[in-house]
Each structure stands twice: as C-alpha cells, then as structure tokens.
Structure 1
Amino acid sequence: MQALQSEQGNRIDVSQYMQKGGYGYPVNRSYSVPGHLDRSQVQAYGANLFLSNFEAQRSDGINPDYKIAPGDKISIWLWGAVNFAEVLTVDNQGNIFIPDIGPVRVIDLPAGNLNQTVTERIKSVYVSNVNVYVNLLVATPVSVFVSGPVQRPGKYAGLTSDSALYYLQRAGGIDSERGSYRHISLIRDGVEVASYDLYEFLRTGRLDSVPFKDNDVLLVGQQGPVVTVEGAARYPFKFELDKDVSFGSELNFYARPLSKASHVGIFGDRDTGPISVYLPLAEFDDFQVEDGDRVLFNDDLRADVISIRVSGSYLGPSFYAVKRDTRLLDLLDYIQVDENQANVTSVYIKRRSVAEAQKRMIEESLQRLERSVFTAPASSTGEAGIRAEEAKLVASFVQRAREIEPLGKVVISSGNNIANVRLEEGDEIVIPMKSDLVNIAGEVLLPQAVVHNQEANISDYIAWAGGFTERADPERIAVVHANGLTTFMEIGDGRSWYSSSVQERIKPGDEVIVLPRVDTKVLQAVKDITQIIYQIAVAANVALKD
C-alpha cells in the first residue's frame, strides 16, 4: 500500500526553493541568514602571523645577506710578502682603512661578499705573494622602539638586517582588536622612511627590506575600517580595509570565495540606516563595503544535475548524473541488470534525508527515556537504590543505541509495482540479488542462513536456527523483506498480527530478526525502551539488546 500510494508523497512545498524578491534586496529590508557568527568570534586576518616564537629560534651566526653597517668589526689577515693582522671598524662614512691600501667602501655590502671585495682591493696593490683572509666578526646591534597598538610596546635590540616582523614579534605582535596590519611606519629622526602592509606580505610574500638604524621607531597605526567575512570563503576572517570605503573586488582578493559561491549577502549600517543586500557574486566587485559590514558568501545556486548511485546486482556504471527533476522509472530504464540474478521487483532506495530523520527520531526517543528515568522520584531508600541501578542500565542502553546508524531505506516496491518517486541528490538505488536463503538473526541460539522452504513458516525458520534464547521475545519478531520493508510478526496462541497464511509469506532473501525482551521486573521504562528497539529494528535492521 505504501508503494502504491507513494505518489501522494511527491507533493512538495516549492516555496522553499524560490528566491523571494529577486537578487537585489532594497535598503532597510531585512532577512535572516542562519548560522552567522558573532563578529567577536571571527579571527582577524593575519593574527596567526605572530603565534610562532620565531625570535627565540634565531641563530647567533651572521646571515650572509646581512649588509655591512657603520660600527661593524672586520678582521683582516695578510701573510706572505706582507704580514698584517688587525680588527678594523667600519667608520661613519661606510669605509674601513687598511694601511698602504687606503679606504675600502663596504657599507651595505652583503656579508657573504665581504671577503671577495676586500681581497680584490688588496690584490690591486699587492699583486703577488700575498694571501688575504677577511671575516666579519661582530655585527653592530641597534635599538629599535616599537610603539602603537602592540602587546608590549618598548625598546628592543636587534641587528640592522632584521626584518620589521622580528621587532613586531619581540613586542608580542599587533593587537588584533586595536592595531593595524596595513599601516605600519618606520620613522627615523621624525621622518617616515618606510611603510609596511602585512596583507601584501601574507598574500604575495613581499615585504620591503629596509636596514634599521639605532633609535628607529616602528609605529603600528590604529586599526582602520573592518569587514567580517563568513560563509563559503577560503579565508573567513575579519579584514581591515585600506580605505574608509573599498570595493568588493579588494575583499575578494584576500577572502578568496570558494568556487561554489554564487551570491553575497552584505549587512551593515549606513548614514541612511541599516542595509541588507543580497546580490550575485559577479556584481559584488563593484559594490562598496564600509566599516562594520558583515559579508556572507553563499552557494545559492541549485545544480541542474544530481548524482545517483546504484548498488546491488547491476551491470554497467555505478554512478549516474541526471537532471534534478528525474524520477526513478526514468533512470531504471538505463540501468542494465541480469534478470537471472537481479531481484528487480524488490528495488528500494537509501536516502540521506530519511536516514537523518530516523536518527533524529531515535535521538528524541532516547532523550525522553533519559528524562523519564533520571528524573523519576524515589519515595524510599530502597526504591532509590533500584532507580540508581535502573539508571545505569538505561545509560548503557542509550550509549549503544546512539551508535546505531540508520540506513534511510525508502520502500518503493510492492509485488510488481514500483512507485515512480522523484530522485534526490545522493540517493542510492539498491537492486537486491536473487537469493535462495533466509537469514535468521537476533535472539536465536544459532544465527545463520538457511535455504528457503516454501512450506515452512516463521516458527520453522526459528527452530532451524536453534530456537529462541532466554532473552528472546516471541511476540516481537521483525522480518526485513528484500524490498526494504520491515514487518513484525509474533508466535503466540494464534491471536497474532498476521494469520498463519500471512506468516507463510516469508520469501527468499528475507531476514528474520528476533528482538530482545525487556524485563518488566527490572526496568520501569519498558514502553519507551520497546519503542526505541522497534525504531532501531526498522531504521537499521539490527536487534539492539537492552
């Protein structure tokens, strides 16, 4: 009956798939976007730059790229026709003076080229029989002041070749709530000689290298306008704008929307009042964003093609890409099967949304069970002890029940009739194999598969599996049919849900699951546990012991 009447279930509320009001929402018209984050919870872009303790990992050796500066100490050895050994200091003009040679300019010379440059100059005077060795002994330290919104403003020692990042790290990094990552100035004698934009460094790896001098000031500017990015972006952070008003193209450059992003929602305040705008991603490049705006990148295009998987007994490909409005029978015409092996009258579907709904219903039942057991009052000490033991048993049952993963079966076939249901993204069409066996599992002594006997009923199959265990409940026997449908039978005094003629309808490929009995002497919440066991048997085709 479910299969024959399932056409009624094809009716859906199409309003949830339609965009209301088109792309451009007018100013002051608000709409809700689920799942947005609090602005204070979003990390600032570039904040991770100062998490590593790289100033503690610095080597005491001199970098070959270090540029010679006034005050550096250089040792020179000459031997052979001339003997000379002296430590010379680079003067304020950037030279060292070698007797009988004269001044040699070395300022801004990389330390790795020092030996070659000085040797060439000496060899120009002493042409032969003179050996030369030149070495930079001590690089002149400098003191740099770090000021502005940093964690620990102050004076820090370093080398002239150290980068601005080194001194910022020594100061604890930039305060992400007050400081600017885009406006950092190097001030020397009251004049700005260099500026740094750490966004440029993070995005392209480029950072101006300006040699520091003693008493330089590295000033971090105040934080500029900030825009928060959420949703389908590779960098969902708070971004500082370079100007008071910037275009969406600049934000796209740093936030890098995912390829699936199709629309952008912008929420903020303007002089005319709050705004709420929703527009295609291509139009966002020319949209002006301002301080305090929240930008949500969204994948709001519904694909015209969905993917369907096929499993079980089939020939050909296991995945199909079909149009969104495709129905089951339209696709079955293209799936090849071997009629001698495939049970084409028992096709069913595994659907993700159904599995989620089954999981949700089981979880709701478990929560009700916990509330009823854990909050039950006790009128005496003895009853309190019984309640405590019951709570332990229920907690163990709930823990195992929550580990069950429903299959999400959709029953679509009955006899030779198959419901022509609409397919959904991720559906799995299961075509069972023809089988001569009947599986018996659950609370039986010898769970096994036996050959189908047309004359046998459910009692015979259970007997062939060794009979019931002590925990079995003969009045709760689930039969999972090949088409995915689960029915319940009972073995009693004849007053059963099914007559003897119906009980004989166990077919090849069916699975008999004997469910456990809930002891009414131990547990008070028998009804709730029984309901959950039924739900799990239908959703996952397993018998969960209580």
Structure 2
Amino acid sequence: MIRLLLLLLSTLIVTPVWGDTLTPGDRVFIQLPGERDFDEPFTIDDQGQIRLPEIGLVPIEGLTQPQAEQRLRERLTTVYRNLDEFKLNILEQVLRVQVLGYVEEPGMISLKPGANVQMAISAAGGARPGAQLDQFKLIRNGSPLQFNYKAYLDDGDPAKLPALQGGDTIFVPSSPLLGNVEVNFDAASLTKGGDADEQQGITIFGELRNPGTFSFKPGMTVVDAVMRAEGVTRYADVTKIRVITDNIPYQFDLKAYLDSGDTSNLPPIKPGTTIFAPIEVEDINTTSRTVYVMGEVKSPGAYESSPGTGFIDVLANAGGPTRFADTTQIKLLSNTKAAMSINLVKYTQTPALYPLPDMMPGDVIFIPEKIDFNEKSWLKVTNDRAIKIIGAVNNPGRFEWNDTMSFMDLLAHAGGPKQQTNLSNIRIVREGAGSDEERVTTFNFEAFTKQGKPQNQLPQLKAGDTIIFDELPHDPTDNKASWLRQSAQDSIYIFGQVGAPGRYAFNGEQGFLDILSAADGPTGEADIQDVLITHRNGKTTKVTRFNLARYFKTGNEALLPKVVAGDVIFVPQVDTVADTEAVKVMGAVKSPGRFNWNVSMTFLDVLAMAGGPLQQANITNIRIIKENRQSQDNVLYFDLDNFINEGGSFTALPRLAAGDTIVIDELPHDPTDNKSSWIRQSADDSIYVFGQVGAPGRYAFNRELGFLDILSAADGPNGDADLRQIRISHRNDSTARVTRLNLSLYFETGDETLIPKIVPGDVIYVPKLEGNWLDKPAGQVVRLMGSVNKPGRYPFNSQMNILDLLAEAGGPTDNAYIERIMIVNTSCCGDKAQTFNLRDYVIDPARYPLPLLRAGDTVYVPNLDDSVGEKWRQGLRDVLGIVTLIALGTTL
C-alpha cells in the first residue's frame, strides 16, 4: 500500500521552481520498484551527501536534478541490475543556514525557500538582550558582509537585508558594553548605559541623568544628545557644557541658547564627539549675565540677571538680608562706575528721595554684618564709620556712627556716664582736623544740663572722633593713684603743709576754700599768713600771696583769691622761708619729686638727689623745661648717654635755675611695646620703619645706633621684601632728601660704605618685591607680539583660546593686519607655524574655526604695512610718482 502511494506521489510531483541545484537539507525520493530500502525519502545532509543502501554516501550538493539522477544511476548500477524504472524526484527544497553569535539557540537551521534574515534569527531563538543590532554579519564563501539589522527593524525595508543562500552563516555580535563575565541583567539598564562604541557613537558624561555612549543619528544636535542621556541633573552648570568634535573643543551655553533660540551657537557633533556637563560648583560662575551677592544674606552667591532686573529683585533672589545684616551700609561694587553706599532703611522710608541704582552684569552687592554691642572685634567697622568713647562711662568702646545721631544718642548708647565722671570737661579729639579746626575741644555737659541749653549747643560729632570722659578721684587719698586719668586742664595743685597735698579735680564753680578743704586743710605747722598761689592761665605766670589768717579773723570774702584749674597752691611751714628755690624731677627716676636748689648745684647733683635714672630710662633725650623763659625755646634737650660714654666736659651740662623741671622719659619695654606707649616717646628720638619688615612701626633711636640696628629691631625684612630698592627719607635737613640702598649688594660684598647714616626722624621704607616675569616658565605662558595694545607674556591654560588672549592684551591696534595673524605652535617634533584670519572668523565663525592655541606658543599680529596689498599699493604710488615727474619734465 505504501509503495503504491509513493508511486502515485511521484507521478504528481513536478520540479520545483525555487532552486536549480540541490542543497543540504533538500528531501528527495528515489523511485526503484521492488526495493523496500527505497520506500522512504532521503535527506541531503550538511555535507551535501545522501546515504544509499549498499552503496554508501553519494555527494549530490550543487547538482541539478538530472545531474544528480545520472550520478545516482551510475552508482546504483554496480549493485542493482534493473534500473529501467529508476527515477529521482525532489520532494522538498530548504535553505540550510548557520546562525551563530549572541542568539538564544545558535547552530544550523533549515528554512523554507524565500525566507529572510529575520526568519533565520527567529528560528535560532531570537537575538539575546545585549546583541548589537547594527553590526550583523553575513558570511558567504569566507567573505563577510556587514549589514544594519536595526535599520531594517526601524522602517521594515527588506532591501536593507541581504538575500540568503544555502550554506550562509549569520553572525550576531554582542554589544561592546557587555562585560567579560556574563551575568543576568535588565535590558533596560543596558540601553540606559549606551548603545554604541566610542568610535561610532557620542560619549556623554558628567552631570547627566543617564551618561553613556549613544549611537549617532544624522541631523542630531547637542540638545538631542543631552536628551538621549535623559537630560542634566540639578547640579549641572548648563552655561559651560564642553563639546569636543574632531579634537576641537567648544563651550556651549545651553541657557543662552534656550533664551535666544539661535541655532548658530550649537557646536557641531558627529560620531566620536565627546560631551561633558560639569558640576556647577566646579567652576566660578562668570557668565556675561552674572551678578554677585555677598555678605549677610540668606543665600549668597552668583545669580543670573536679565535686562530689567533690579536691585530688589537680586536681593530677594538671594533670600533677602539676614537678621544680622546692616542694611544702612550696603555696598554696590561695579566695574563700570564708582562704588556706592545704599541705605535700604532710608529707601523704605522715602523711596523717592533715595532711588536704588540699576544693576549691571558683573556688579557685586555686599551687605556687611551689623555690629553687635558686645562684639569684641572692632575690625568689622572701619574708622570712617565709628566713634570711640574712652573713660568713665558704663560701656566704653568703639561704636558705629551715623550722621543722624547726636551726642546724647551716643552717650546713651555707651550706657551713660558713671557717678564719678567729670562731666564739666569732656574732651573730644578729632582725627585729621583741618587747619581751621581745633584738634581737641572740650564740652561742659554739667553746665549744659543745668542751664538747659538748646540742642544745637551739643558738640557736632563725626566719624573718627574720640570722646574722653575723665574720672574724678574717689577720695583725696586716691587722687595720686588716678592722676594720670585726670586732665591737667581740670586739675589744681596744692602742696606744703596741708593734710593731703596733691593734684585735685577742679572746676569753675569751686573756690579756694573748696580746694583747701579737699586737701584736709592746713596742718598745725602751716604758715597760713603767707600762702603762695601761682596762677598759670597758660599765657603768663603770676604769683600772689594770701594771708589766710587775716581772712579767718575778718571773714572778709573779698580777701579770698580766685583760683582756677591749673593753679598751684603752696602752704609753707611756719617759721621757715617759703620754698621758692626748687627744681622738679619727673619721669623714670628712682625718687621723682621737688628738690631744693642753689646755684652751686649742677645737673648731676639734682639727678643724684632724685636717686638717678631707672634702667629703662631714655637718657639720650632728657628734657629740661625752663620756667623762667617765656619764649618757644623754653625746652632744652640733653643727651646724658653721650655725655657718659664720651666723657663730655662738665661745661656741657645744662645750666639749671630755680623753677626748672627735668623730665626723663621711659623707653618701651621691648620693640613690640612701642606702639602701646608711643605717645610717651618723643618724635625727636624716634625713627620710622615701614614696608616689608617683621614689625613695622615707630622705634626709639639715638645717634649711636645705625641702619642695621633699627632693621634688626623691626625683626628684619620678610620674604616679600625687595632688598635692592630700600628707600630712606632724611628729614633732618631743611628739605627732605631720599636715598636708596641696595641691601642685597651689601650682603654680597660686606662693604660698610653702602650703609647710609640715619638719625632720629628719618623714615625707612622696605618695598615689596615685584614679581619677576621669569618666575613663570615659558611652558605656562603664551607670548603675544606685534600690533596689539599690550604685547607681552600672558598666563595660559586649556580653557582659553586666541580670542581670550587678544582680549587680555587690549585687542589689536588700528593698524593691525588681522587677516594674517601668525601662530607658532611648539611641540616635541619642532615648531610649526600657521596663520589665522580674524576677519574671516568674525564674518563666518562656523566656516573658519579658531586655531588651537597651547601654552608655550607665540602669537604675532603683523602691521598693516606688512601686507602684500599695502606693499603693492606703495609700489604703485612710487611708479605713478616717477611717471608724473617724467611728464612734468617733458612739459617743461
């Protein structure tokens, strides 16, 4: 029955139209009646052979049906005799292709005629996640053919797939993003990390939501690439996106592009382009629309502005002032105009009178910190905004000053005066007083409060003033301990036979009996019939005698002398002559005081009576105040140190007289102490050192010291000092004279003649060493020469280009030949020169890119006279001039 069916089937089979030759996988039926071994069809194996009973393998691949039938007949005749009914029929033709690579079931598969690559991939179980769809290969006869399977899947065009033939091999590669160790992964995670290699794709990294390497599509822009990476993060600086295409760096401002929509600002991208979105805090924000807010605001920093942005807008964007902000002293710094102060409090009160300035890109708003009353640091308020209160107030210190304040406001701010304050003589010291102003003025606050004077009688203060409140002694025995704090203008002196002689506070409302009672009155040994009163009103000195006993007897008030602050009262001892022949010794001596004087005594005698000078006494500049002289030269100076060391003649000792006062100043304890005690140091004994020294300042100096002594006292020059340019101002001549000292040369040669002679009063200035241009190596700078406003050596880094360099140098000059700017690039293989046409770049920057500039290069901007056109025109003018001369000669 089966044999009958096969025979019937063979009669119905027609030759298929698919292929002319036999291929592996084809099924054939061999008609050979009477032989049971040929009842089943035969399949051509992958080697192109079929296995016949008793014959073995017979290759028939690549043969047509008649050829295969003839070959089989020849092989069968060796075994079978009757082949009259032998016939070969093709039951089924198939495509046998091999699918290898990153598929689920790689191997040899059979396809129906007309099948394509997609059917072959499906028959192999499909491509695995991570297969690179755009890099499929078809290998035929050992020759590979690459095709883009992804493009076929995008639009379904079968022409993008190669036709299959039997024996073909399809290879599916894996993505280069896969690691060497295969692990289970999510396909979505793989695509997020990128879908291309670095040569064929675009590498995007930095502050992006999904950085990676992504495939390039024609017409793609930087914005498309950023969106392929799912956009930037909130930390990205979108104004400084870096793009590198064909090794040319570009900087792209995404914000400016979104504001303007100008596509000409888009940098070119292509396969192999690298895009980097930096983090915002990595660079300093210096865009062309940036304003800066610093100080006491909630969120200080750099902010983008736009046309019409006002001062209040910027301040509000920064969160507004904090509770520590001083809104009356806001500073606005600008590159285009002078700095100005803004009082926001006045603006809120009367906006029309105090308009706010317009904001420009690059402006800086600085809001200072409000001064705390208990703040110890006084550096936060400059001297032009502060007033100092010293003395007997509850809270002395340094206070911020405003012109709207008055003396009473300031006094209340300082907690008011203490109970023991001397309110009758408040002193106001004004720094930088002009020629028509008094440096020190006094104010009687007690009289002001008692007489009820109007408010305009209060002293007019201004920033920089110092107000001094003296303190009255607590009791008569305390006045010596606190006499230094008591002004001489408010004091009266009482000596002699009184219970408590000394120096007492005194004002115009008190009289002779007041001061006498304050001194505990005359003692039992006092000669009250011959009280001496020296009236020292500051112009002339007058001595009057007063018989106090007569006043006690008569009670006549007219007998009482009128005394004022500054007068001296002396109550002599009974039965002795009043001590009018005396000399006073004050200052740094062992026993200062008033000593009896006679003409046989010398200066050294008086000094010995005072116990001699202390160790810290400044004996190089002893002052002798001559009381009997009424001229301006009533002060003499004597150098005791020079007299002792050089053995001076006794005739050189100063001649004393009764009433003279000897003052011996005390030296500072150490060089760092001279500033705190500088007021006790005479300017005639001082020398000034400024500049780059360890401890600049004002130092005690005498003629035995030299330049090296004062330089070592100031801790010597520091590391920034320019030892070759030291200047000394000599002020002891009629006119100032300045000399220069090369101290470095002295250190090298040891020549003492190079050291200048200096004396007290001179000023030494050690300048700061200016930077040497050779300090920065050539590998870090770019040299700019030729027709530019400021040629020279400029620091250079990879973020700059030639436009930045020209802008730093002030740009080309008017006669610069900008069409042929020459750039010499240095490299390992020698220098290479190139030219750059700046005019073409300005007209069409996309067509004429900027040349690459590196540190160490040299840029030369030639002059317009060097151009070929200019030389040709000059030659033409010369020729025309010669022709004109010939023509004129011919005419004449």
Return the index of the structure with the highest Cα Rg: 2
What is the TM-score with the length of structure 2 in the denominator?
A: 0.18
Greater share of residues in strand: 1
- Higher relative contact order at CA 8 Å, sep ≥6: structure 1 or structure 2? 1
Q: TM-score, normalised by structure 1?
A: 0.26
